[in-house]
Structure 1
Amino acid sequence: MPAAEMTMPQTEPQTDMTPLVLDVDGTLLRTDMLHENFWAAMGHDSRAALATLARDWQAPNRLKADLHRIAAPNVALLPLRPEVVALADAARRAGRPVYLASGSDQGLVEAVARRLDLPGDHFGSDDSRNLTGATKAQVLVERFGDGGFDYAGNSEADLPAWGAARRVIAIAPGSGLRRRLDALEKPVQIIGARPGFGALWRELRPHQWVKNLLLFLPLLVAHEFGAATVAATLLAVAAFCAGASAIYILNDLLDLEADRLHPEKRARPIASGALSIRDAMVASGVLVLLALALAWAAGPPVAGLTLLYMALSLTYSLWLKKRRWLDLASLATMFLMRVLTGAAAAQIAVPGLVLGFVFAVFFTLACVKRMTALARAVNGGHLPGRGYTRADLRGLERVAAAGIAASAALFLAYAFSGHSAALYDSQVVLAVAVLPLAAWLTRVVRLSEQGRENYDPVRFVTHDRTGLLIAALGAGLVLLAV
């Protein structure tokens, strides 16, 4: 009798419902919310932010909560890491729950979750706990069980959570961290690569260093080109390049939200997340020390002026740039300080007429910077982080016209002064150079009124062929006058 046939019951493959837990800072976001919160607080109330840091630096959970009370970063603008967002989207499509777990303040973590429409409870720091390292791992194990979740992180602080996870997802780990992950003997998924030096180099804005050629103006005015004089001025130029880059970084840290709302500045390394805030802060500190060391080598007066320049630049970033009209005088003064520092390095006295001319020219160019921004403004004519609206455009045009007139008058006064008589064979030819000067300034102002300039005046000036030809004509007339 044939054996009865037995049919095995058909079972459908089980769906993987293991929760996916995402670290936020440096993982889901290309930035760190504690650092973002600190600089948002600095931009809002620098005194309160620094007092909070001094009081709470040994209690990270309190520090995060107190900074959040002063000011919160705009979570909607924080740069996301697309690969991790795609990972979360894929998990949700598969029916898996996705949770956020971060050492950042609980309120900020929940704001990020709302931005991505992630339902459920999420995990952050509060007044009673700092959710990092072993504390984070313990909370996740209590909620999901040992090995009951997949975890995505980006640093050694995530090792305890990875150790308790079923599966490891690591964002751009270095070689040392990669070895420690391999030692966990768990499935490891690597996302992204470590950033190179390019983002930091762009943040230094080396194209802006052309401004520091103004330190050579005292040598040109006095016709002094001795080796010792040029060497001292070169040291001062190097100091200003380092100091200016340090302040550019601090300015970008204070301007994060405004830059992210800007059509072009949103691509800057810090605003886009290409350069971490911590790396930017370290670089700024190193550059300040380098600037002071180079300036001291050029002489104590140069060191003093360099320090004063950086202090004024920082004051501008914290306060002056938000004050309508006062910011224009501040920008012009910082250019004037370059000339004064070059004079101190070369030990040359610069005539007052030349100093007045420099101030008038750069006051005009400061107007141009604001006029360009207003002409190209997209959000109702308001400049985020600045004190101007489109209603100020006409006033800026009038002030710029006055600046052109003052520049021309001061140039002519110097051309026929006793100082120029001792240095130039033809004061008349020197005076004629005022025509291309006035033409160039007028051209720059008119283009800014039409919104045809770049947001970065230095980049525009150095790439404007017509403007460069006009400037070359002026320089040629000055040389003919010698």
Structure 2
Amino acid sequence: MRAEPSQMGQGTEDRDLPVLVVDLDGTLLRSDMLHETFWDVIGREPRSLPAIAASLFKGRAALKAFLAERTRILPATLPYEPRVIARLEAWRAAGGRTALVTASDARLAERIAEHLGLFDEVHGTEGATNLKGAEKARFLAGRYGRAGHVYMGDSAADLPVWAGAAGAISVNASGAVRARLEAEAKGGEVEHLPRDPGRGAAIWRALRPHQWAKNALVFVPMIADLAFDLPTVLAALVAFVALSLAASAGYVLNDLLDLADDRSHPRKRMRPFASGALPASLGSFLFPALLVAGLAVAMVQSGLLLGVVALYFAATMAYSVRLKRHSIVDICMLATLFTLRIVAGGVAIGVELSVWLLAVSMFLFFSLAAIKRLAELADVQAAGRAVSRRGYRVEDRSLLSQMAVASGYLAVLVLALYIDEPVVQEKFGAPWMLWGVCPLLLFWISRMVLVAGRGEMHDDPLVWALETRTSRKVMGLIAVFVVLAVVL
């Protein structure tokens, strides 16, 4: 039968309660320790990937032991399920005993149990035995007997465990798992702690669709070439979709690699994977799916575009795994990633990119990357720390400000020289209107440096620009000058 949430485990102290056995992954923890430890180790030691693969060939228990030995995850930073914590506290208050029994490595389980202080017993995977599914069911039957324990789990792997327990509590289980549990309950009490309804919205946030605005750079070659026929527009749109999917794959990957850092950040700790709104296991499957989809879309257009999108993702991965931790190198890589978007647009529509356009792009995007780091240092200072996650120190703010201004102004200078080129004079009806773009860019760059230096920029510079009224007005005026240069 099914019990209401208030019925199961709410007895008095004189009631002979069975042991409340709680699973870790997906139940007590709103994530999965196998995936958490994998991304933690890969993020710090990318060269360990072959050794991780070798340990997997020895079995999942060996893999878990290998990762447990190398992880630096702190139990205090993990995303716990508050409803399970509350149930454990209530059970112990009623005089019952509790046990953490998990397929995760026993050493990790013991650290988590020690941190929480809510368990009388802790059992996890040791040696060659993976304490999961039927193996866990046999262990619990031998230790407690059917009438001796109530089990809290979350997945189909827990069905044989629930079958051998006096009571079953599902936590964030899928509808299919809940239905099977109800059907196989065999008269035992069943309770469901349902999944949060916002998982779909959390997945959407993990893709960071607002960041897709950066991929509008693929349309720059089309605008520069004044090619607005339908095939050209469709080709650019294909590049936009392909890059957006690949970019989202990169964002998911970056979030997985940055879990520990994000959880200590005042704002980034609310990201879906860091907060536990999405488990790391979902991210492990989501990012390759997005990447494959992006590459497939690019292949529809051309093999050359496929190569550029693949290069973009490889550069994103190199940045996420290693290069973002190296001062100045990280800024250069960010500028390169922005420029690759313009390259993708040129490849998609089949035009040769101007050296002038590439030069403006590199200088401008280097400036924006420096502004991004400048804004982050303001957060670091506000948090009372001396060093950022990227290795910059608070005292580097002056240098970053100078780099941002110098590079941004160089981009405007190159643009001014480009406007005077014969090809521009021939292509545009009123090329002199393009001179109006230069002072607007000078103002825009200067204002962003000023705002970031004051600690008032709380997002990526481009995202901040799209959300700020003054910046939107500047971009609108730039668009007006470009349109007038074409139509007059």
CA contact (8 A) 1:20 1:151 kept: yes
Could you tell me which amino acid in structure 2 is paired with residue 234 of structure 1? L
Could you tell me which amino acid in structure 2 is paired with residue 455 of structure 1? D
Which runs of at least 4 in structure 1 moved beyond 4 Å after TM superposition?
none
Q: 1:476 to 1:17 in 2, by over 3 A?
A: same
CA contact (8 A) 1:363 1:403 kept: yes
CA contact (8 A) 1:200 1:280 kept: no
Q: 1:446 to 1:436 in 2, by over 3 A?
A: same
Q: Distance in 2 between matches of 1:44 and 1:212?
A: 29
Could you tell me which amino acid in structure 2 is paired with residue 186 of structure 1? G
Q: Which of 436, 461, 478 in structure 2 is aligned with 1:474?
A: 478
The 3-state SS of whatever aligns with 2:243 is helix
CA contact (8 A) 2:168 2:191 kept: yes
The superposition leaves residues 257-276 of structure 1 with CA deviations (integer Å, 9 ceiling, x where unpaired) of: 11111111111111111122
Residue 215 (str. 1) matches residue 218 (str. 2): yes
Residue 189 (str. 1) matches residue 194 (str. 2): no
Where in structure 2 are the equivalents of 1:70-469 lying within 5 Å?
70-182=70-182, 183-184=184-185, 185-193=187-195, 195=197, 196-377=199-380, 378-384=383-389, 386-469=390-473
Q: Distance in 1 between matches of 2:483 and 2:67?
A: 58
2:20 corresponds in structure 1 to 20
Q: Distance in 1 between matches of 2:161 and 2:440?
A: 67
Residue 65 (str. 1) matches residue 104 (str. 2): no
Where in structure 2 are the equivalents of 1:32-51 lying within 5 Å?
32-51=32-51
The superposition leaves residues 325-346 of structure 1 with CA deviations (integer Å, 9 ceiling, x where unpaired) of: 0000100101101111111111
Q: Distance in 1 between matches of 2:317 and 2:69?
A: 24
TM-score (norm. length: structure 1): 0.94
CA contact (8 A) 2:100 2:109 kept: yes
Unmatched runs of 5 consecutive residues or more in structure 1: 1-11
Q: How far did 1:119 drift?
A: 4.9
Could you tell me which amino acid in structure 1 is paired with residue 269 of structure 2? R
The superposition leaves residues 246-296 of structure 1 with CA deviations (integer Å, 9 ceiling, x where unpaired) of: 111111111111111111111111111112222222222221111111111
CA contact (8 A) 2:444 2:471 kept: yes
CA contact (8 A) 1:99 1:122 kept: yes
CA contact (8 A) 1:37 1:73 kept: yes
RMSD between aligned residues: 1.7
CA contact (8 A) 1:19 1:148 kept: yes
Question: Which protein is bigger by CA-based radius of gyration?
Answer: 1
Q: Distance in 2 between matches of 1:381 and 1:449?
A: 16
Q: Distance in 2 between matches of 1:379 and 1:171?
A: 38
Q: Distance in 2 between matches of 1:175 and 1:328?
A: 46
Q: Distance in 1 between matches of 2:448 and 2:143?
A: 63
Q: How far did 1:379 drift?
A: 4.6
Could you tell me which amino acid in structure 2 is paired with residue 187 of structure 1? E
Q: Distance in 1 between matches of 2:55 and 2:68?
A: 15
Could you tell me which amino acid in structure 1 is paired with residue 223 of structure 2? L
Q: Distance in 1 between matches of 2:407 and 2:317?
A: 25
TM-score (norm. length: structure 2): 0.92
CA contact (8 A) 2:249 2:288 kept: yes
Could you tell me which amino acid in structure 2 is paired with residue 85 of structure 1? I
The superposition leaves residues 23-53 of structure 1 with CA deviations (integer Å, 9 ceiling, x where unpaired) of: 0100001000011011011111122134222
CA contact (8 A) 2:19 2:148 kept: yes
CA contact (8 A) 1:169 1:189 kept: yes
Q: 1:411 to 1:304 in 2, by over 3 A?
A: same
The 3-state SS of whatever aligns with 2:148 is coil
CA contact (8 A) 1:382 1:390 kept: yes
Could you tell me which amino acid in structure 2 is paired with residue 210 of structure 1? A
Q: Distance in 1 between matches of 2:130 and 2:106?
A: 10
The answer to which of 317-326 and 127-136 deviates more is: 127-136
Could you tell me which amino acid in structure 1 is paired with residue 476 of structure 2? A
Could you tell me which amino acid in structure 2 is paired with residue 472 of structure 1? G
Q: Distance in 2 between matches of 1:291 and 1:429?
A: 38
The answer to which of 253-262 and 455-464 deviates more is: 455-464
CA contact (8 A) 1:38 1:49 kept: no
CA contact (8 A) 2:295 2:306 kept: yes
CA contact (8 A) 2:178 2:192 kept: no
1:9 corresponds in structure 2 to none
Q: Distance in 1 between matches of 2:405 and 2:463?
A: 22
| Aligned residues with identical type, % of pairs | 36
Q: 1:398 to 1:215 in 2, by over 3 A?
A: same
The 3-state SS of whatever aligns with 1:139 is helix
CA contact (8 A) 2:150 2:165 kept: yes
Unmatched runs of 5 consecutive residues or more in structure 2: 1-11
Q: Distance in 2 between matches of 1:51 and 1:416?
A: 57
Could you tell me which amino acid in structure 2 is paired with residue 199 of structure 1? A
